[in-house]
Copies of this chain bind each other. A is one copy, B any other.
Amino acid sequence: MDEEEIGRETSRLEAFSDGVFAIAITLLILNIKVPGKDIGDGKLWEVLGQQWADYLAYVISFVTILVMWSAHHNIFRYIRRTDHPFLLINGLLLMGVTIVPFPTSLLATHFSQENNARAAAAVYSGTFLFIALCFNALWVYASYKDRLLDKTQDVSSLQGIAWAYIAGPILYLLALILSFFSLWTTVIICILLTIFYSLPSLVNRT
């Protein structure tokens, strides 16, 4: 294959991934229903206010998936080839991403009931654990002996990516275990990790 064909090959994987990311990131907007005319005049602010958990879930889910898309985008800057196992690992990652809106909405809905909130936090951190494992598998598979990498890239930034990705599953596993004891510890670990992955740092080359 010549250079141009190689570009086409990763392009198509990226285009398909972008389509799935675009659907996942907008899924929770379907949960936000327009209140009907029968609520009575002057009541709209109040009725909209009662939907706060749905708004919050949408914003959190959107920002979280945006950070994941950005990390995916960054990994693919180093990828020059694809092969069949790589397509399947990327597919599992995409499946994880499309699930994110569900536990986000679950946690926002059940946050005020203690036992249900802990169950929702377990599902939430478990989803992130799965996604972090997929990101690791994707990166390890691509970078093992430079299998699918562009060899002209800077080696030190690759090491930085590797460390940042190894930390993910360990901390999300911790968050998952802690969800059976403390809701807030789990939520705070997840928020801090999302902020960490959103920073223009090792994983997000400026």
* Interfacial residues, chain A to chain B (CB-CB below 8 A): 4, 7-9, 11-16, 18-27, 29-32, 34-37, 39, 41-45, 48, 59, 62-63, 66, 69-70, 73-74, 76-77, 83-85, 87-88, 91, 94-95, 98-99, 101-102, 105-106, 109-110, 112-116, 119-120, 123, 198, 200, 204-206
Contacts and interface: CB of A to CB of B under 8 A. Distances in A.
Contact of A102 (B13, B32, B102, B206): B32
B21 A23 contact: no
A110 B19 CA distance: 31
Given A20-B22, A95-B59, A44 B119 contact: yes
Q: By DSSP majority rule, is chain A's interface helix, strand, loop, or mixed?
A: helix
A9 to B, nearest CB: 7
Nearest to A123: B48
A21 B18 contact: no
Contacts of A31: 34
B84 A44 contact: no
